[in-house]
Structure 1
Amino acid sequence: MKTPETRLCAHHLTGMSYRDVDLVEDLIGKKTFTEVMIMQILGREARPVDLRIVDAVLVTLMEHGMTPSAIATRLIYMSAPENLQGAVASGLMAVGSQFVGTMENCSRLLDRIRQAADGQAEALAIAREFRESRRALPGFGHHLHKPDDPRSIKLLALAEAEPDLAGDAVKALRLLAAAVDTTYGKHITINATGAVAALLSEIGVPTDLMRGFAVISRAAGLVSHVAEEQQSPSGRYIWETIDHAIPYVGAGKTREQGEGQP
């Protein structure tokens, strides 16, 4: 069996290397976090267009309000305030196929369209497939943003204005959006994760790594939820609200029944 290798990092007595460059001499104070992140993840020097796209994606995904990931972080922090990293980690566990991390599922659909001999026909086939199966179509629909998700409009406009991008993934998403509207007989918005799937694909991020960018971005957002929890705690309020909102229906005695008992 071949010995495993790594190209990511090496230590020596007086310093440290990230890939092929010296951390102290070449990176600290000279490169941004996003530049180094792209270099480490994609194994190449970040281009200006990469930085613009990745920064736009990271800003878009960082904060979503009181979603399951933020609620999990706040509740865990309330329970174990000495374990900030555990609270953030608990929130990151919610970055999945239903919230925040859905771009990879959308990206797979865009890959199908780009690889098809007839992209428009493939887009229609995908839309019909999802409608007939009554499954949620990744990258489409939003419970709050109607008729369109303003974030996706902005992200796609940024990508379409970039002369250094091929535009294939964005075109595939546009084809799918048109097919969805035709198949469903109404307009269904491209949501932010749908746009993110197209943008990350445009700069060469593999589909199976896309959720990692959501994790990186969301970690920063969850730290801000911890910061707010420290200043204005809501964890106990969330807990008590749920405790009162979900009734117990078993045969045992409830707290309300027991009030006034010695």
Structure 2
Amino acid sequence: MNKASQPPTTELCTHSLTGMSYRDRDLVNELIGERSFTDVMFTQIMGRRPRPVDLRIVDAVLITLMEHGLTPSAIATRLIYMSAPENLQGAVSAGLLAVGSQFVGTMENCAALLEQLLASSDIDAKAREIAQDYRARKQPLPGFGHHLHKPDDPRSIKLIQLAQQETELGQAHVNALLTFNKAIDETYGRHITINATGAVAALLGEIGIPTHLMRGFAVISRAAGLVSHIAEEQRMPSGRFIWETIDEAIPYVKKASE
């Protein structure tokens, strides 16, 4: 049998009649009660045991992205739960569908730009080039700008400070983000804040998370936040109020006959 026709394999989990293993660790005797969720999660995703700095960064990221009030993802979860309260997982999954290129998941888009900067022989010039291109096309810059937090996003400031305090991190991604921010401000002629997902992109890059896996950390974090919205919905329902408010706020306009 040649390599192309060999069946696929998995390194993530195996089980027997008397036990189960995650990668090379016994679930019952080596993980449960011995290691934290973040520790095991990181190991499962990345295939290596996290360093203490990895755990600190991932925990900071997960806490940052877990909640931001009644955003589209939370509203979707509450409305679906109102419609099908027997289906908690369906309501959470509805909200997770909003973790994309416009909200919550934009760290992936920002990380791709940081990769371009880090691959360039002249980061400053490349930063100006990208900023000018986005401005010319009138496209929003992923990882920058926020309609609520001005002049700066306090979450980003804290995350960047945390990363800069970690002597084990190389700071390449964080410095690239700050260089990019300077070029953006100069290009637009005004200060544009680094938002939370921009800072998250830099921090996850510093600990080696591949760009195309970063959105997964947003999904993990936001899932916890959406469960909290369901818990509040159970105590203080708001789904019908949201529905009725929208129904009243958006009037029906009859189109004139042609």
TM-score bracket for this pair, using the shorter chain length:
over 0.9
Equivalent-residue separation in structure 2 for 1:239 and 1:224 (angstroms): 20
Matched, 1:104 2:108: yes
Paired residue for 1:117, among 97, 117, 121?
121
For structure 1, the residue ranges without an aligned partner over 5 or more in a row are 253-262
Structure 2 residues without counterparts, runs of 5 or longer = none
Determine the C-alpha separation between the residues in 1 that align with 2:121 and 2:67. 38
Q: Deviations over 1:189-217 (max 9, x none)?
A: 00000000000000000000000000000
Q: What letter corresponds to residue 88 of structure 1 in structure 2?
A: V
Q: Equivalents in 1 of 2:24, 2:254: separation in Å?
A: 63
Deviation at 1:104, TM superposition (A): 0.3
Q: Supply the distance in 1 between the matched residues of 2:122 and 2:18 (Cα, whole angstroms).
A: 57
Q: State how 1:1-262 maps to structure 2 within 5 Å.
A: 1-250=5-254
Could you tell me which residue of structure 2 aligns to residue 258 of structure 1? none
SS in 2 for 1:151: helix
3-state secondary structure, aligned to 2:28: helix
Which residue is equivalent to 1:257? none
Distance 1:138 1:34 in 2: 27
CA distance in 2 between partners of 1:165 and 1:224 (Å): 33
SS in 2 for 1:164: coil
List per-residue Cα deviations over 1:114-151 (Å, max 9, x = no partner): 01011111111111010100000000000111110000
Runs of 4+ in 1 over 2 A off after TM superposition: none
**CA offsets per residue over residues 29-85 of structure 1, 9 Å max, x none?**
000000000000000001100000000000000001000000000000000000000
AA at the equivalent of 1:37: M
* 3-state SS of paired residue (1:30): coil
Q: Deviations over 1:153-206 (max 9, x none)?
A: 000000011001111100110110000011011110000000000000000000
C-alpha deviation, 1:2, in angstroms:
2.4
Deviation at 1:12, TM superposition (A): 1.0
Task: Please state how far the C-alpha of 1:249 moved relative to its aligned partner.
Answer: 1.0
The one-letter amino acid of 2:102's match is Q
Aligned partners of 1:244 and 1:147: how far apart in 2? 34
**Partner secondary structure for residue 249 of structure 1:** coil
Name the SS of the counterpart of 1:145 in structure 2: coil
1:251 CA displacement: 6.2
Amino acid at match of 2:23: R
